[in-house]
């Protein structure tokens, strides 16, 4: 059996077109290295899947964990989702304190991964937790290649050699569809988003798989795509309604913010919820319990994800040698409220699926 070759700095240097000494300086956060050269080295290390030994803190490092709040495009990491990011931070802060670390929070908005990695190269920290919501696979590889122990949260990739703690989207979607099926719904729609986010994609893929698993047919015409901000989702849904789409009996929305925008557009067309169309969200944001009707949605413990991220990172920091990737999925709970209740006429035990309803043109949206 052929032994796996151990990667060296010379391998990275050859791929990046620099000297091994330059690679050493970049990976150890030393020297006056240009941003372009540093990015080439980090990208080469990521492509080769270079894993630094993490048994000792590098010189100058402190017992500090840095949380990277990354908004690459801001369509999902924005003020609409500040609550769930705060929950992540709460979980991290409590566990970091318990393990003797200081939690440092640094925000990056609109910066490329190479720039974020460069800022970490000389950072006096023990390890990093990165909000991966808006990161691509390439972004993850670049940040991971910086030479620090790193854990990514709010994203997940099966075939990327990195550490992830995320929600179990498959389990969550199954719970939603099973609830709708048990209530007698058969024509179920999904409100997706064209914004490039891994969790959005995982939920859409899980929707099709679980419809088949439950013996239901997913009609492509019942998949609606909208922007992921509240106003964007509202505007896109209003446009769909204005085009006279056939509405499904119910819709599972990619997240609560999208659900809020969809509900606003439906109401402006005098479409009642849940009497005419049932709606389910994802995230259990505070507004979901107080709106009318209260929104049925998915709750995932963001504090638990934050706690587990620190636990995994602590193990990596103190490991005497490189460790295999750790990938953890946290289960979901369905919070049932009024927005998806199947309304049946009094005295009728079972009602067949309602016929498709074609919408009327919405009232002109109010200008901001």
**What beta strand segments (E) does the chain contain?**
64-71, 102-109, 127-131, 150-153, 163-167, 188-193, 223-226, 246-247, 250-253, 278-280, 297-299, 327-330, 333-335, 357-358
Confidence of residue 20 (pLDDT cuts 50, 70, 90): confident
- 141 pLDDT higher than 70: yes
- Do 309 and 351 lie in a common domain? no
Q: Which pTM was predicted? A: 0.80
pLDDT of amino acid 304 = 97
- 352 pLDDT higher than 70: no
Contact 298, 199 (CB under 8 A): no
- Do 227 and 274 lie in a common domain? yes
- Do 197 and 254 lie in a common domain? yes
pLDDT of amino acid 3 = 46
- Mean pLDDT for the chain overall: 88
Mean pLDDT, residues 260-265 = 98
- Do 210 and 345 lie in a common domain? yes
Q: Does any domain span residue 9?
A: no
Q: Which range marks the domain in which residue 197 is found?
A: 169-299+338-358
- Do 112 and 246 lie in a common domain? no
Taking the C-alpha atoms of residue 335 and residue 341, their distance in angstroms, rounded to an integer, is 12
Q: Does any domain span residue 199?
A: yes
- Do 266 and 223 lie in a common domain? yes
- Do 144 and 85 lie in a common domain? yes
Q: Does any domain span residue 287?
A: yes
Mean pLDDT, residues 267-289 = 97
pLDDT of amino acid 359 = 53
Total domains in the chain come to 2
Q: Does any domain span residue 55?
A: yes
Q: Does any domain span residue 46?
A: no
- Do 154 and 260 lie in a common domain? no
- Do 140 and 109 lie in a common domain? yes
Give the Cα-Cα-Cα angle 280, 281, 282 (nearest 5 degrees): 140
- Do 161 and 175 lie in a common domain? no
- Do 109 and 206 lie in a common domain? no
The CATH number of whichever domain residue 100 belongs to comes to 3.40.50.2300
Q: Does any domain span residue 38?
A: no
- Do 68 and 163 lie in a common domain? yes
């Amino acid at each position: 059996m052929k032994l796996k070759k151990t990667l060296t700095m010379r391998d990275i240097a050859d791929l990046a077109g620099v000297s091994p000494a330059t690679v050493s300086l970049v990976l150890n956060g030393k020297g006056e290295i240009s941003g372009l050269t540093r990015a080439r080295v980090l990208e080469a290390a990521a492509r080769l899947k270079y894993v630094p030994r993490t048994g000792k803190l590098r010189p100058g490092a402190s017992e500090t964990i840095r949380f990277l709040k990354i908004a690459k495009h801001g369509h999902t990491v924005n003020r609409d989702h500040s609550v769930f990011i705060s929950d992540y931070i709460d979980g991290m802060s409590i566990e970091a304190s318990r393990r003797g670390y200081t939690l440092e929070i640094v925000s990056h908005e609109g910066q490329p991964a190479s720039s974020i990695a460069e800022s970490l190269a000389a950072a006096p920290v023990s390890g990093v937790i990165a909000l991966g919501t808006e990161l691509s696979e390439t972004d993850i590889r670049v940040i991971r290649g910086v030479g620090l122990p790193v854990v990514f949260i709010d994203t997940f990739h099966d075939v990327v050699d990195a550490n992830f703690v995320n929600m179990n989207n498959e389990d969550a979607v199954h719970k939603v569809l099973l609830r709708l099926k048990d209530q007698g719904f058969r024509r179920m729609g999904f409100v997706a988003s064209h914004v490039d986010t891994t969790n959005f994609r995982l939920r859409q893929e899980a929707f099709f798989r679980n419809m088949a698993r439950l013996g239901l047919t997913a009609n492509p015409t019942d998949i609606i795509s909208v922007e992921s901000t509240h106003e964007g989702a509202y505007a896109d849904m209003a446009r769909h309604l204005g085009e006279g789409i056939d509405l499904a009996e119910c819709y599972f929305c990619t997240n609560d913010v999208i659900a809020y925008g969809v509900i606003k557009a439906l109401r402006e067309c005098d479409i009642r919820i849940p009497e005419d169309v049932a709606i389910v969200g994802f995230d259990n944001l505070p507004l979901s319990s107080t709106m009318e009707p209260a929104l049925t949605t998915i709750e995932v413990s963001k504090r638990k994800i934050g706690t587990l991220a620190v636990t995994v990172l602590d193990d990596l920091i103190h490991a005497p040698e490189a460790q295999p990737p750790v990938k953890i999925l946290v289960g979901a709970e369905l919070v049932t409220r009024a927005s998806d209740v199947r309304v049946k006429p009094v005295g009728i035990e079972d009602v067949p699926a309602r016929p498709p309803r074609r919408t009327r043109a919405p009232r002109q949206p109010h200008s901001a």
